[in-house]
């Protein structure tokens, strides 16, 4: 049996608290996404992605692929790209759903801020 001094025990306790906080954050993110997706009156697929968002998405996808190769990280794939677009639509949907953004003539469109927020959210989940 190995005995730990008080400093080592405190470090382990701190690490456990951090891991617990991350798990709670991921759990909240998953619940948020599930709630956005579950609204029967609104499909996340009905959020349009305009040309400027798609051009930005393509540019960011290429940059992330190159960065992952340079840094020796896991390869960025089309699945990641699909997830980013989905998160962008969910982000836009959440802004409309809570009344931060209004829709015009039942036309729903994501904005660049939605893409940027989706990328931040995705980075936090990795």
pLDDT in tens, 31-60: 766 766 665 555 545 788 999 999 999 999
Structure token pair of residue 49? 């992605």
- The Cα 94–Cα 82 span in angstroms is 18
- The Cα 54–Cα 112 span in angstroms is 10
Least confident interval from 29-38, 72-81, 104-113: 29-38
pTM here is 0.64
- The Cα 84–Cα 126 span in angstroms is 12
- The Cα 40–Cα 46 span in angstroms is 12
Least confident interval from 38-42, 85-89, 114-118: 38-42
- Mean pLDDT for all residues in the chain: 78
């Amino acid at each position: 049996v190995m005995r730990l001094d008080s400093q080592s025990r405190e470090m382990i306790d701190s690490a456990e608290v951090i891991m617990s906080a991350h798990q709670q954050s991921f759990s909240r993110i998953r619940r948020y996404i599930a709630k956005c997706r579950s609204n029967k009156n609104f499909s996340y697929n009905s959020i349009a992605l305009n040309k400027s968002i798609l051009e930005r998405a393509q540019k960011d996808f290429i940059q992330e692929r190159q960065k992952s190769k340079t840094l020796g990280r896991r390869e960025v794939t089309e699945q990641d790209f699909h997830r980013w677009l989905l998160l962008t639509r969910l982000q836009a949907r959440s802004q409309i759903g809570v009344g931060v953004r209004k829709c015009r003539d039942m036309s729903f469109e994501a904005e660049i801020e939605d893409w940027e927020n989706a990328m931040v959210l995705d980075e936090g989940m990795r």
